[in-house]
Every structure is written in C-alpha cells, then in structure tokens.
Amino acid sequence: MEIRPRCKIGIAELDSEMDGGIPIGSTVLITGSSGVGKTTTCMQFLTNGIKLGEKGVFFTTTVTISKLVRHLKGYDFFDENLIKSGKLSIIDLWTISDRLGLTTERYTAEDINVLFEVIRDITKELDAKRLVVDSITSLCYRLQTKETIRDFIFRLTMSLAAIRCTTILTSEVPPRVFRYSQHGIEEFVADGIIFLGDIERRGDLIRTFQLIKMRGTAHSRTKFAMSLSSKRGVELAPMFKSNI
Ligand SMILES: Nc1ncnc2c1ncn2[C@@H]1O[C@H](COP(=O)(O)OP(=O)(O)OP(=O)(O)O)[C@@H](O)[C@H]1O
Ligand SMILES: [Mg+2]
C-alpha cells in the first residue's frame, strides 16, 4: 500500500490519527460556529509548518490584518517576526480587492476568477506550502450562485493541489447544529472536514474537535475535547475512553 506524503499539522493527537498528517495538497474545511477556535487552529497549522521550513499564507476575509495580529499576540506560538521575515504572509480581502478594482460586496464569476488567480499566484510566488482562507463562507456570500461557489472552490483546490500546497478553508455555521457549511457545497469539494463544536456541561461550554473526513487516508473519527491556552494553543484529549 502506498502512503501519500503528509503535511504535519503539529497537533500530535491529530497527526497520529492520519498516519502523520494531512495528505499533501489536500484542501480541508475547518467548520464550526463563532468562537470555537477556527482561526487559532489555522494559525497554529501555519506556524507549525514554518518550524518545518514551510512558508505559509493566511488570507483573511473577515477581520483586518491589524485586528487579527492583535488577537494572535496573546498566544506564545505566534511571533510577529514570522511576518517580518517573510515566512508568514497575511493578506486581506480589502487590500486585494482595492488593488484589483473590485467592489467587496458582490463578485461576478469574472471577479472571482481574478481573485482566484491572485491567491494562487501569491502562493506560488512565495513558494508557500500551506495556505489558509479564513473564511470561505464570507467569500461565498459575495458570489451569486451555487454553481459559481462550486466552480471557485473546485478550481482553487485543484490548482493548489498542483503546486503541492495544503489548504485550510474555514466555514462558519450557526451554533449547536451539526452542519458543515452555509451552502452545503463546500464540504463536497473539500478533501477533508474537521468539525469544531461545543457541548454545554454544568454551565460551561466545552470545545470539541472531530475529524469527519480525510480523503486518501485511514483515520479515526474520535471526538476530542479541545482546549485553547496562551502557552500551548490548541490541545486535544479524547472525550470518551473505549473499554475494548
Ligand atoms: N490568548 C488566549 N489564550 C487562550 N484562549 C484564547 C486566547 N485568545 C483567545 N482565546 C479564546 O479563543 C476564542 C476565539 O478563538 P478563534 O478566534 O480561533 O475562534 P473562531 O472560531 O475563529 O471564531 P470566529 O467565528 O468568531 O472567527 C476566544 O473566544 C477565547 O475563548
Ligand atoms: Mg475566526
């Protein structure tokens, strides 16, 4: 059996679930409601990659770069020097749209093609091996039809796979529902799905983390309790112990 080369996420429990990491060149959807830890998980994926010598690109479509950096500064795994040294590039939708002369409210199929080419070219030029789009939901809101959404995500995933770039797209869903995306399309185009949820226990909200699908590898679908801390970022512990 041939095992495809892996992109190590850097969260030990998760990498060991999948023979060492995400198959290189895959596109993975991290989905969950507000505050479950999508952005933090994505940024840790990029900073862990930098430790392995892989450059990362973070494309923010929901908050400005300065706001994002301000939030991330609270974590030990994040260091602003990664940006200054060019190992981590953060780009935002408003700057790119402005440069391309696009309005940010609605995109035509032509607009989205231009945007798609820019994301791909930046990733290629920087020779980045990891890309995050946070969030794909907010880009999809600006597209007019389901066909345009499907076509955009499909083209993005294909061309990033061709340059062996592993991509994470974040997907926003309402709280306490087991749904993977707003449009019901994103999860079918993506190679993998990670679902971040929360469970209420004795007046507390416990974060959960579950790998739902990952094409090209065997993996368990164990539900983990997820914690976020300034010192260690994302940490996972199995929710239920099997007695077998
Ligand atoms: N320095 C920190 N140490 C520990 N936990 C933190 C720290 N900073 C933020 N958090 C936690 O992380 C949560 C936000 O996580 P994050 O931004 O990754 O979620 P998200 O799923 O991306 O949310 P959104 O949908 O709003 O973008 C905060 O609500 C807080 O509980
Ligand atoms: Mg976020």
pLDDT in tens, 116-168: 899 999 999 999 999 999 999 998 888 878 898 999 999 999 999 999 999 99
pLDDT at res. 2: 67
Q: At what angle do helices 109-126 and 146-162 cross, to 10 degrees?
A: 20
Query: Average pLDDT of 180-209?
Result: 92
Q: What is the residue-wise DSSP string for 28-53?
A: EEEEESTTSSHHHHHHHHHHHHHHTT
Q: How far is the CA of 160 from the centre of ligand 1 (A)?
A: 28
Q: Sorting pLDDT into bands at 50, 70 and 90, what band is 185?
A: confident
Q: How far is the CA of 3 from the centre of ligand 2 (A)?
A: 32
Whether residue 197 has its Cβ less than 6 Å from ligand 1:
no
Whether residue 75 has its Cβ less than 6 Å from ligand 1:
yes
Query: Average pLDDT of 31-48?
Result: 97
CA dist 77 → 64, 139, 200, 209 (Å): 20, 28, 28, 20
Give the number of the atom of ligand 1 that is nearest the alpha carbon of residue 196. 21
> CA–CA separation, 101 vs 112, rounded Å?
12
> What is the number of H-type helices and E-type strands within the chain?
9, 11
| Residue 51 burial (CB count, 10 A) | 11
Report residue 38 as tokens. 């999508």
CA nearest ligand 1 atom 14, residue: 35
> CA–CA separation, 143 vs 213, rounded Å?
26
Of the candidates 25, 8, 10, which has an alpha carbon nearest to the alpha carbon of residue 215? 25
Of the candidates 19, 2, 27, 5, which has an alpha carbon nearest to the alpha carbon of residue 194? 27
Report the DSSP beta bridge partners of residue 57.
Answer: 89, 131
SS3 120: helix
> CA–CA separation, 73 vs 39, rounded Å?
13
Q: How far is the CA of 181 from the centre of ligand 1 (A)?
A: 20
Q: How far is the CA of 32 from the centre of ligand 2 (A)?
A: 10
Q: 32 with 173: CB under 8 angstroms?
A: yes
Give the number of the atom of ligand 1 that is nearest the alpha carbon of residue 71. 8
Taking the CA of 209 as reference, the closest ligand is 1
> CA–CA separation, 232 vs 206, rounded Å?
17
Residues having C-beta closer than 5 Å to ion ligand 2: 38-39
Check residues 244 and 239 and name the one with the higher pLDDT: 239
Taking the CA of 231 as reference, the closest ligand is 1
Q: Which of 11, 33, 40 to mutate to test the pocket of ligand 1 (most atoms within 8 A of CB)?
A: 40
Check residues 192 and 108 and name the one with the higher pLDDT: 192
Q: Sorting pLDDT into bands at 50, 70 and 90, what band is 32?
A: very high
Whether residue 74 has its Cβ less than 6 Å from ligand 1:
yes
The pTM of the full predicted model, rounded to 2 decimals, is 0.95
